[in-house]
Structure 1
Amino acid sequence: MSREPLRPRTAYHHFTPISTRWHDNDVYGHVNNVVYYSWFDTAVNSWLIEVGLLDIENGNPIGLVVETGCRYAASVEFPQRVEVGLKVARLGSSSVTYHLGIFVEGVEDPAAEGQFTHVYVDRDTRRPTPLPDAWRQALEGIA
């Protein structure tokens, strides 16, 4: 069974630099798989804050993660810096699926790639709500 190749750097429209931390390594000497999911969350939410969409204390709507996945191709370890590539893969009425790539700084080939889906909901009711026009426009800019 063959796998599709991971997406290259050029597939992504925004990059978030992240430094690995001492405790990211597991007993096998590489960054543990759960850390990649934290990087995905950090990259998506950092971008949303950076472009003025996400107000984590009072904003409405808020995104709830409903699905994630990751494919690994190479080890990452402390101390290294990674760059998390971000693009919108699918934009629904109240959901967004992001593609994310993990690249060790200065390395062209991805160490991993993932997908991350938010369903945007009303802060109080926690029911899906259509994305506001400003959100849709910003998200389309990285699709």
Structure 2
Amino acid sequence: MKASYIKDFDKWLDDFSFFTEVRVRFSETDMYGHMNNTVSFTYFEQARIEYFRHLGLLMPSATDDEVKGIPIVADLQCDYRKQVYFDDVLRIYTKVATVGNSSMDIHYLAKNQNNKVCFTGRGTIVQMDPRTGKSVPLAEDEKVRLAALARI
């Protein structure tokens, strides 16, 4: 199976460096011990937040009157390659793929404890004004910093 957002899989794999680990909990599985297919999106969220913290991009509160923009998920996609089971330890890798005026595309890679690719994903994050619900441009310094990380 080939995901449309991946041109050269080996090169795409090599461009990841940041990851966070998660252990598949019992409550995230079905009666066969297989991870529910919705859980990958929760793992993407956790990895994205840790990645933003790592980059020094704060996750501001939407209720703070001083905040001009908050990052929201505009779309999210997951492509499954290998089954995941209860108690598997996954490394969820995260990287910036592209940067636009008010958005960025984030890519994800999940590998199990045997270093096997289990699932991949991507999602668009848009900077939104919490008062108007409209997109707002990323700060120029953030855009430059994020664009320097983007390597597809």
Shorter-chain TM range is 0.7 to 0.9
Q: 2-side partners of 1:142 and 1:130: how far apart?
A: 18
Matched with 1:99 is: 107
Matched with 1:4 is: 2
- Does the 8 A contact of 1:73 with 1:111 survive in 2? yes
Q: Say if 2:140 is the partner of 1:133.
A: yes
Matched with 1:85 is: 93
Q: Secondary structure at the match of 1:111?
A: strand
Supply the AA of the counterpart residue of 1:65.
V
- What do you get for the CA RMSD once the two structures are aligned? 2.0
Corresponding residue pairs, total: 140
Q: Say if 2:27 is the partner of 1:23.
A: yes
Where structure 1 has 5 or more consecutive residues not aligned to the other structure, the ranges are none
Structure 1 stretches of 4+ with a deviation exceeding 4 A read none
Pair 1:80–1:60, CA change in 2 (3 A): farther
Q: Say if 2:74 is the partner of 1:70.
A: no
Where structure 2 has 5 or more consecutive residues not aligned to the other structure, the ranges are none
Give the TM-score normalised by the residue count of structure 2: 0.81
Q: 2-side partners of 1:51 and 1:11: how far apart?
A: 16
Query: Identity over the aligned pairs, expressed in percent?
Result: 26
Matched with 1:122 is: 129
Give the TM-score normalised by the residue count of structure 1: 0.85
**Which of residues 27, 52, 56 in structure 1 aligns to 2:56?**
52
Q: Secondary structure at the match of 2:106?
A: strand
Higher relative contact order (CA 8 A, sep 6+): 1
Matched with 1:40 is: 44
Q: 2-side partners of 1:32 and 1:94: how far apart?
A: 32
Q: 1-side partners of 2:35 and 2:43: how far apart?
A: 11
How far the C-alpha of 1:141 sits from its partner, in A, is: 4.2
Q: 2-side partners of 1:102 and 1:73: how far apart?
A: 10
Q: Deviations over 1:53-108 (max 9, x none)?
A: 1233245421121111111111111212111111112211011111100111341x
How far the C-alpha of 1:123 sits from its partner, in A, is: 2.6
Q: Deviations over 1:3-38 (max 9, x none)?
A: 337745423131111122121111332111100001
